[in-house]
Amino acid sequence: MSRLPRLLLLATALVAASRFVCLTADYGLDADGWLVARAAHNLAAGGAYEASRLPGYPVQEFGYALLLKLNSNAGPMAFGLVTALFSVLASLTFGLALRGLGSKFAPLGALALAAVPAVYINSLNAMDFVWSLAWITSAMAAAIHGRSATAGILIGLAIGTRITSGAALLPLSLLLAPNALGRRQLVRMWLTALGTGALCFAPVLWSYGFEFFTYYGGEERSLLQPLFGRALLQVWSPFGLCAASAGLLIGGLRCLHRRGGERAVPADQHPRLWHACLLAMALWFGAFLILPADPDYLIPTVPFALLFLGWLLSGSQFAIFCLLLCIAPFTGWGSETKGPGPLQAALNNRRSMARIYERVLAEAKQLPEAKVVIYAGPLFTQLAVSQQLRSGKELQKGPDSIVVRRRLNPTNSSLARREGYALYALNVPQLEWNGDTAPSNRDFDREEALLILLPSDAESVSPDGVLESSGDTKE
């Protein structure tokens, strides 16, 4: 075995170790991860397919269900472990893609991909972003090595994991077919990709028909704020974004002055590499402009951005950039809070949230009333799924001693009171919740209650936790 593969395997081992030491016993801060866990548990229990949210994420949902079939006791830690393994796969296959392009910096590139803060953080939860990233980088490596059918199958799995991953077909087509001789391979890749993707979505189509194209969008956000204020900063972190911007500037000047020297990613056999990279970034950025709901939607652009920078920079410049990027998850440089790095901040928030779930459920069981409705607002999904997986009950179907609802309004609050339920709400000020980010990492073992009894005239609770009387309430 040559020296380079050994270094690539060492880099992959470092990525694996960095993930395993950070695993936590929850499904992550994003409520969608908890919905995936519920869908997987329902499938494993023999239930009919029910998408965690539309348009469906069948590869991940059935993948986790298979995990539960193999080990019925698999919990959040096991779910996070599977995602961590996909991040290792993404790192390894991206290194193989770099090798296929003739780069000598595959190990550093593999480490850099894994170190991008959004990739690192999403490698530790139950979300689908890193799953689809791993399929895309695997398809990239296969396409670069001319394996069209394999690349197509992998893109199909990426589509089955996250339907927007189908956008990878266009840039990977440029990598697969640098000249007219690759047209047959190109057709083969497209057919296998679309066929595999359609097969993955068969259960979704069976359950929902063509209504599965409905999009579950969550809360609406403004366009400019997430794009410029959060998106790139959340994906790369301030430190990482500065490193990438400096690399882009240096590489641009290098091309402008036509300086010689070997590129870090030469791509002599793939002259349209930079076209593929720019096309991929344009597609995902364009989609994000249309629907700027979550900065993590831009994670698929990361490997193409790294390839593009490798194509622009010399070997030594690219090596320095990759090493700087490896620091990005651990430094809070440039952040508004000047606190810990993005990785530690995310882990702190997850630990705080885990304590909140435990405290709220423990307090609910100790309430004096026999029947309780809890307004959970922004924590509705996490609390409802957590309680459901513990009790095996659908909390909003049929009578139960504890019912969790997203929000209370005059209709359901009056009905609940007539049925003998006491109404409680989360003590939002006590949680220091601002409606967008997780509560600060504070001591939640204080004596203050996290659940408060609503007054008899309170008929609704606003999303920010403000109680409203019947006179102030609108339907």
What Cα–Cα distance (Å) separates residue 286 from each residue in 120, 289, 306? 24, 5, 19
Q: Where are the alpha helices (H) located in 23-147, listed in sequence order? A: 31-44, 58-70, 76-100, 106-115, 117-122, 129-144
Going through 297-347 in order, the beta strands assigned E by DSSP cover none
- What pLDDT score was predicted for residue 393? 47
> β-strands 402-405, 372-375: how paired?
parallel
Q: What sign results for the dihedral spanned by CA atoms 224, 228, 230, 231? A: positive
Of 370, 463, 375, which Cα lies nearest the Cα of 413? 375
Residue 196 to residue 163: CA distance in whole angstroms = 12
Each residue's pLDDT, cut to its tens digit, for the chain (475 residues) gives 455 589 999 999 999 999 999 998 889 888 899 999 999 999 998 888 999 988 999 999 999 999 999 998 888 999 999 999 999 999 999 999 999 999 999 999 999 999 999 999 999 999 999 999 999 999 999 999 999 999 999 999 999 999 999 999 999 999 986 654 568 899 999 999 999 999 999 999 998 887 777 665 544 444 444 454 578 888 999 999 999 999 999 998 988 876 666 889 997 778 889 999 999 999 999 888 888 888 999 999 999 999 999 999 999 999 999 999 999 999 988 666 567 899 998 998 888 888 888 788 788 878 888 788 888 877 888 888 887 776 554 434 334 577 787 777 777 778 888 888 888 887 755 555 444 444 444 444 455 677 777 776 665 555 545 444 443 333 3
Letter string b/e over residues 4-22, b meaning 16 or more CB atoms within 10 A of that residue's CB: eeebbeebbebbbebbeeb
Q: How far is CA 130 from the centre of its chain?
A: 6
- What pLDDT score was predicted for residue 248? 94
Place of tokens 């440029």: 174
Between CA 232 and CA 238, with CA 235 as vertex, the angle to 5 degrees is: 65
Q: Max Cα separation, the chain?
A: 80
Residue 88 to residue 91: CA distance in whole angstroms = 5
Of 197, 315, 217, which Cα lies nearest the Cα of 260? 315
Going by the DSSP 8-state scheme, the letter that residue 467 receives in this structure is E
- What pLDDT score was predicted for residue 436? 41
Cβ proximity of 236 and 117 under 8 Å: yes
Residue 80 to residue 123: CA distance in whole angstroms = 7
Residue 15 to residue 329: CA distance in whole angstroms = 13
Collect all residues with Cβ–Cβ distance below 8 Å to 289 and sequence separation of at least 6.
223, 227
> β-strands 451-453, 422-426: how paired?
antiparallel
Give the side-chain half-sphere CA count within 13 A for 208: 19
Residue 102 to residue 88: CA distance in whole angstroms = 22
- What pLDDT score was predicted for residue 143? 94
Q: What is the pTM of this model?
A: 0.89
What Cα–Cα distance (Å) separates residue 40 from each residue in 43, 58, 61, 76? 5, 10, 5, 12
The first and second tokens of residue 129, run together, are 């972003």
Place of tokens 């209650």: 449
